[in-house]
Structure 1
């Protein structure tokens, strides 16, 4: 018996009689199962008859079989098919069986599907029949990612956030906070403290100014949270108890630093972005063991982002729909029933792309891809979006499910194209910020004629302190901090000259900037030093006057002696020779 005949033989005699009549158009004379099986197998193997039968099927049924043959691995995927075609060829009402596993398909195409393992398992097209049919059946039309044109003006409450325009300035601000050890996280959890999030939020362009929905707590710290996690996970950072500190200098260009941050986050197995969907409970219970590898999830999202055209808007719904239809490997958990809302006994979640995977996708895009400027976004308050496709038990009184629900559109930036490997180098977008006129006064006093844009404020904050209103003062401290992190005084000069009506800077301002560049490497680090305190002035004199020790020791005050760390062993040996102990 052939493999195809073996698959057909798993059905009952009554079902095989029905399939025979459907395939050949006449009632069977055979009554034995073996004879019916053989007749159907020969009918399928008759390519001319099979093609004629195929051609007379309704278009929607042919489309389903095409998808099953080429896309769904021989099985039926109702949700994906209905999403792509807007309909599904259901079996007529009242004709479904309550025994065994019923495919729910019309008999005209149900005859292609047979149980893979038992009469109670899901049905699929046998491999032998797949081979026969793909010899003449064309593959289905590929689903394409539909682009969008933003409505003008944007709907009330919506705003466009051009992340590429601000990310380089934000990176410098975050590296300064890291250098000054201003970033605090939980010693065991690695979660940023509330004070840290507030501090970082002042340096970045957040999506929302405040929480507007009880189910979206923390929506005013999305960018801040993403930055802290990206910095903490990078090779530029080390954690000392609750403080993040520099691990090594970021002497690369800013774009290269962003690429390092991104690539290290993609490999991070310890942090799972889905944990940020905190209204979904059960993530720490039994459900924890069924979560998939976040690295593989991110790879699925990256594959979808690479399909997005550069500098072109795509609605989030279209991106999510496209990923679902094309069978994206984005899967949050293999056992969603362990997750719930409110109550573990009544709020069990079902396997829903729009409830789980789509929420994860929103979080990853807003908190990490957009934070690093790979995409620009259009957002609305989460409660404005609604939950029409996500309604399940426990959501009736919820305005939204997560702080990320407001994501409406995304646009892959040239920076994103470079980071994702779609471009060989980075060519910035055209300047998106307007140039607010300003006047430069003596002693580095900068006065804007109108409120500067958020981008201008973020850039200038790297080199100056805000005084009052639209007045800023150049700061030696900030300039030095920025220069040490890869900043450039020439960029500051270009920024000022582009907005100043005069074609030159005031003489004292020009001199101030020139001296800043000259003094940027005024002091160089050589080695670490040790400081020892002597018991008495006489003992300090004895040590300093010793010929052997005087070669590397220096007096620091009356009682203290300083020496290079590399000379510690020699120093102690010299003290022992003098008969002086060191504790």
Structure 2
């Protein structure tokens, strides 16, 4: 028996008679299953009969055939089809409940049960697909649409230029690391509440506080993202409960961010979905059914790479595009273990994509991609999310990430994703606030500077009052030592001041700062040695061997390199002087 006939024979005799009538337009005079199978097999592969039959299908039925043939692998995907076309060619309602979810008979004539069980999936046999593909055109390829942001933005919507903010925030957090200000759990590496507040004050958070009771933690999303990304990177290490720099780096911020992103994509221990804490059942039995987080990130990253740089995309359009095109993004293989209120309450049935994958996607974009500046975002309060419909309670939003409305891939994101080998900032759309550079490094803005301008300038200057700032030698030196640039600061000032040249004393401050970076180099640790008498000091200082490692510090003190401690003690013992 051929492959096609085997597939057709999986249907019952009654089903085959119904398909015969639908396809040929007349009742079959044959009652034997073998005869029905042979007749239908011949008809479905006859190009003349096929062409005539296809001409009778409705536009929606033909669209379903096209999608099944070229995009669904011979299957029917009701969810993807209905989201794309807004409708579905349903079988007319019947008293039998399950018929309400069946496609029309005109379409189902091409689909047969896979296997012998009636409840198995329906699929087009390969020979039928081959015949249909000669007559049915491919559907137009799905495209991701871009948008122009409304001007002005709707109420409560705020644009965050994360590319610009991330580059300066990185410096601010590196200063906190350098000063050993970041405390984390010794076991989990998760930051304390006090540390989150401290880091939140060094970055530009999306929300000033929790915008609704169901979105706890909104005010520290960026702080949390930065700390997880840094804690996972090779640029930091944990010393007890303190996160500190692992090594001094002279990399520019874009390279640091690119490497941090790559390292996060390969982090197997952390799952961003755990941050969707309103979804219960993630531990215990449910934990074992979560999919590979590396694969999830790989899928989202592949779609991000397909975005046009500097073009705004509505988040809802992006999520729908992923769903329609069959993105292999799945959070769990056992949905029944997860719930919102009580186990088995059924809240997630039939809405897995909206409740799980879409929330995961938002978290990944906001707390990780946007934190590093790979995307700029437009945010609204999370309880403004009209796509969330809580049918079982009065929850205002499902996650703290529900406020994401639009995003755009930035040049920094293009670089971090490996789409280009070089990073070149492009901030033509950003407003530059005019300023005047006064004597002794005073900087006076004409009006309130933008959040990014304030964040950038805070790396090199102190804020005095109103719109007045003043260059700080201390801040400049701290920032220059972690990858800041005098040229970058100079370009920032000159782009906003009408004067053709910087004032002489300001130019002098900048030149001196550039010249003095690395002016003192700490080579190694030293030990201060107290001598019992001044005679012992004189003996050591004048001894041929001991004098090579020491230098007088006070009347009865000398200093030696810590690395020479052992040899120093041995030499003292050899001349009869004890060292405790």
SS of structure 1 residue aligned to 2:296: helix
Q: 2:468 and 2:493 mapped to 1: Cα distance?
A: 13
1:115 to 101, 113, 118: 113
Which residue matches 2:567? 570
Moved more, 233-242 or 78-87: 233-242
**Distance of aligned partners of 1:146 and 1:582 in 2 relative to their CA distance in 1, 3 Å threshold:** same
**Distance of aligned partners of 1:509 and 1:147 in 2 relative to their CA distance in 1, 3 Å threshold:** closer
Q: 2:342 and 2:530 mapped to 1: Cα distance?
A: 64
Structure 1 position 13, deviation (Å): 1.2
Which residue matches 2:448? 451
Conserved 8 A contact 2:278-2:398: yes
Question: Root-mean-square deviation (CA), in Å?
Answer: 2.4
Q: 2:247 and 2:337 mapped to 1: Cα distance?
A: 42
Q: 2:223 and 2:573 mapped to 1: Cα distance?
A: 54
Which residue matches 2:39? 39
Q: 1:19 and 1:433 mapped to 2: Cα distance?
A: 63
Q: 1:372 and 1:362 mapped to 2: Cα distance?
A: 15
1:209 aligns with 2:208: yes
2:425 to 410, 423, 428: 428
Conserved 8 A contact 2:388-2:397: no
Conserved 8 A contact 2:114-2:120: yes
Which residue matches 1:81? 81
Conserved 8 A contact 1:339-1:348: no
Moved more, 19-28 or 131-140: 131-140
SS of structure 2 residue aligned to 1:232: helix
Structure 1 position 175, deviation (Å): 1.7
Q: 1:138 and 1:512 mapped to 2: Cα distance?
A: 70
**Distance of aligned partners of 1:64 and 1:560 in 2 relative to their CA distance in 1, 3 Å threshold:** farther
Equivalent residue runs for 1:83-482 within 5 Å:
83-94=83-94, 96=96, 104-119=102-117, 120-346=119-345, 349-350=348-349, 351-386=351-386, 389-394=387-392, 396-482=393-479
Moved more, 294-303 or 40-49: 40-49
**Distance of aligned partners of 1:397 and 1:493 in 2 relative to their CA distance in 1, 3 Å threshold:** same
Conserved 8 A contact 2:437-2:502: yes
Q: 1:340 and 1:538 mapped to 2: Cα distance?
A: 80
Which residue matches 1:68? 68
CA-to-partner distance for each residue in 1:152-178, whole Å, 9 max, x for gaps? 221111111122232221121122222
**Distance of aligned partners of 1:53 and 1:195 in 2 relative to their CA distance in 1, 3 Å threshold:** same
CA-to-partner distance for each residue in 1:521-572, whole Å, 9 max, x for gaps? 2112333434555677666665545432221133444665543344344234
Structure 1 position 343, deviation (Å): 2.0
CA-to-partner distance for each residue in 1:324-376, whole Å, 9 max, x for gaps? 00001111111122111132243652352111111111111111211222211
Q: 1:391 and 1:285 mapped to 2: Cα distance?
A: 27
Q: 1:510 and 1:181 mapped to 2: Cα distance?
A: 32
**Distance of aligned partners of 1:392 and 1:453 in 2 relative to their CA distance in 1, 3 Å threshold:** closer
Conserved 8 A contact 1:338-1:348: no
CA-to-partner distance for each residue in 1:293-351, whole Å, 9 max, x for gaps? 22211111112222222222111111111000000111111112211113224365235
SS of structure 2 residue aligned to 1:235: coil
1:50 aligns with 2:50: yes
Q: 1:95 and 1:38 mapped to 2: Cα distance?
A: 32
Q: 1:579 and 1:37 mapped to 2: Cα distance?
A: 109
Q: 2:553 and 2:540 mapped to 1: Cα distance?
A: 13
Q: 2:162 and 2:292 mapped to 1: Cα distance?
A: 28
Alignment length (residue pairs): 578
**Distance of aligned partners of 1:38 and 1:257 in 2 relative to their CA distance in 1, 3 Å threshold:** same
Moved more, 58-67 or 126-135: 126-135
Moved more, 203-212 or 123-132: 123-132
Q: TM-score, normalised by structure 1?
A: 0.92
Which residue matches 2:30? 30
Conserved 8 A contact 1:337-1:348: no
Structure 1 position 246, deviation (Å): 0.7
Q: 2:44 and 2:160 mapped to 1: Cα distance?
A: 57
CA-to-partner distance for each residue in 1:12-36, whole Å, 9 max, x for gaps? 1111111222222222222221222
Conserved 8 A contact 2:94-2:100: no
**Distance of aligned partners of 1:285 and 1:560 in 2 relative to their CA distance in 1, 3 Å threshold:** farther
Moved more, 428-437 or 230-239: 428-437
Q: TM-score, normalised by structure 2?
A: 0.93
Q: 1:531 and 1:134 mapped to 2: Cα distance?
A: 86
SS of structure 2 residue aligned to 1:466: strand
Q: 1:262 and 1:160 mapped to 2: Cα distance?
A: 23
1:515 to 464, 487, 512: 512
CA-to-partner distance for each residue in 1:100-151, whole Å, 9 max, x for gaps? x997122222222222223221221123332333333222222111111222
Q: 2:321 and 2:460 mapped to 1: Cα distance?
A: 44
